[in-house]
């Protein structure tokens, strides 16, 4: 019976995670942030069923396995997305990065058209620019977020995503317009506030408020083609990112975990598109940051 009930519970979590309330420690958001790992119950239940020589236990394991395959099985299938029209790199470079120039060179290896960076300290900005400018000659920086582009930037300004209880010096949003051969694309570079996991639960109030503000900017933005690139400090499954994710096209079925760099368990760095399609996501090898760089291929 324990195997059966555990299998049923796991299945309900995978398929019905939206029904988990956020009233107690933001439990729903916490589950959704690590939802792909819910599949770990399958091998554990299989092992338990084998040890107990339980045919019913083996059969019960099919419940969470089927639920997980419905939600995430597509991420295991190979596919040919074709040649991209646009390549975008997203990277939280870390304000403790010991070698900004090395990090910048690593990002250029994939020949991107756009590079969005977060946690760029003023004293490190020249090192990034010295490497990136020759290949991507157009760039803009607001606060600690920056964008480098192969194409001209015809507009750039701060994007106000600041939570109400933070000072005016907190500036982690940028909106720029890059003029590509296929037309203008509005690009938001955003670094949403961090979350904390403690005994009290999942503390995400500032991040959620910042996501709502970003969502309102997206709702009001008249641009046809639009990108949101940044460290959003959660996954696209998390309802806390709903105000942003619901206004963008769903990303492709790729795990591409980016955090923490030492043992990646979640993709909290995102490249989201409107009126374009992200066809492929992949993480690059580790740099001097606690995040892995994320590469997105897009088709117009």
Q: Is residue 154 in a domain? A: yes
Residue 81 lies in a domain: no
Q: Which domain holds residue 175?
A: 86-299
* 231 and 271 share one domain: yes
Do residues 160 and 38 both lie within one domain?
no
Residue 175 in tokens: 């909106």
Final residue in a domain of this structure, among 76, 110, 125 = 76
Residues 235 and 289 in one domain: yes
| pLDDT at residue 192, rounded to an integer | 98
Domain co-membership, 221 together with 107: yes
Among the candidates 35, 55, 76, a domain finishes at 76
* Residue 165, domain member (yes or no): yes
**Whether residues 257 and 141 fall in one domain:** yes
List the structure tokens of 18: 């939206």
Q: Is the peptide bond before 260 cis (omega within 30 degrees of 0)?
A: yes
Q: In terms of domains, do 152 and 16 share one? A: no
Query: Does the residue 242 lie in any domain?
Result: yes
**C-alpha triplet 103, 238, 252: angle, nearest 5°:** 65
pLDDT of residue 69: 86
- For residues 271 and 210, membership in a common domain is answered with yes
Residues in contact with 214: Cβ distance below 8 Å, sequence separation at least 6, in sequence order: 159, 161, 173, 188, 190, 192, 228, 243, 244
CB contact at 8 A, 94 and 288: yes
**Same structural domain for residues 293 and 164?**
yes
User: Where a domain ends, among 76, 99, 132?
Assistant: 76
- pLDDT of amino acid 48: 85
Is the pTM higher than 0.85? yes
Answer whether residue 125 is part of any domain.
Answer: yes
69 and 107 share one domain: no
Q: Total domain count for the chain?
A: 2
CATH of the domain at 258: 3.60.10.10
pLDDT attached to residue 199: 64
For residue 282, is it within any domain?
A: yes
> What would the two tokens of residue 110 be?
């994939």
Cα dist from 296 to 38, 58, 222, whole Å: 25, 39, 23
Tens of each residue's pLDDT in the chain, 300 residues: 588 888 888 888 888 888 888 777 778 787 877 888 888 888 888 888 888 888 888 888 888 889 888 887 766 666 667 899 999 999 999 999 999 999 999 999 999 999 999 999 999 999 999 999 999 999 999 999 999 999 999 999 999 999 999 998 999 999 999 999 999 999 999 999 998 876 666 789 999 999 999 999 999 999 999 999 999 999 998 999 999 999 999 888 778 999 999 999 999 999 999 999 999 999 999 999 999 999 999 999
User: For residue 199, is it within any domain?
Assistant: yes
The pLDDT assigned to 77 comes to 67
- The answer to the question of residue 169 being in a domain is yes
Mark whether 197 and 72 lie in a shared domain.
no
Question: Do 173 and 159 form a contact (C-beta atoms < 8 A)?
Answer: yes
Instruction: Identify whether residues 90 and 63 lie together within a single domain.
Output: no
Whether 188 contacts 174, CB under 8 Å:
yes
139 and 268, same domain (yes or no)? yes
The pLDDT value given to residue 180: 97
């Amino acid at each position: 019976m324990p195997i059966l009930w555990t299998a049923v519970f796991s299945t309900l979590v995978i398929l019905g995670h939206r029904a988990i309330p956020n009233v107690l420690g933001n439990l729903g958001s916490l589950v959704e942030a690590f939802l792909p790992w819910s599949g770990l119950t399958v091998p554990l239940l299989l092992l338990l069923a084998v040890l107990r020589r339980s045919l019913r236990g083996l059969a019960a394991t099919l419940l969470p396995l089927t639920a997980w395959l419905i939600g995430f099985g597509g991420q295991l299938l190979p596919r040919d997305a074709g040649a991209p029209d646009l390549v975008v790199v997203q990277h939280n470079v870390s304000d403790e990065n010991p070698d900004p120039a090395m990090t910048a060179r690593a990002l250029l290896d994939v020949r991107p058209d756009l590079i969005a960076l977060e946690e760029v300290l003023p004293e490190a900005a020249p090192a990034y620019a010295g490497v990136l400018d020759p290949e991507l000659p157009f760039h803009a920086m607001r606060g600690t977020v920056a964008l480098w582009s192969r194409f001209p930037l015809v507009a750039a300004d701060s994007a106000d995503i600041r939570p109400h209880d933070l000072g005016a010096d907190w500036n982690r949003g940028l909106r720029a317009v890059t003029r590509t051969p296929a037309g203008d694309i509005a690009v938001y570079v955003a670094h949403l506030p961090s979350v904390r996991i403690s005994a009290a639960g999942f503390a995400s109030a500032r991040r959620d408020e910042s996501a709502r503000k970003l969502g309102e900017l997206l709702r009001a933005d008249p641009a046809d083609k639009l990108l949101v690139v940044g460290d959003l400090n959660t996954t696209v499954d998390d309802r806390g990112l709903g105000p942003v994710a619901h206004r963008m096209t769903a990303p492709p079925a790729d795990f591409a975990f980016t955090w923490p760099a030492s043992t990646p368990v979640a993709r909290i760095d995102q490249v989201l598109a409107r009126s374009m399609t992200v066809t492929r996501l992949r993480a690059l090898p580790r740099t001097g940051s606690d995040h892995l760089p994320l590469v997105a291929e897009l088709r117009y």
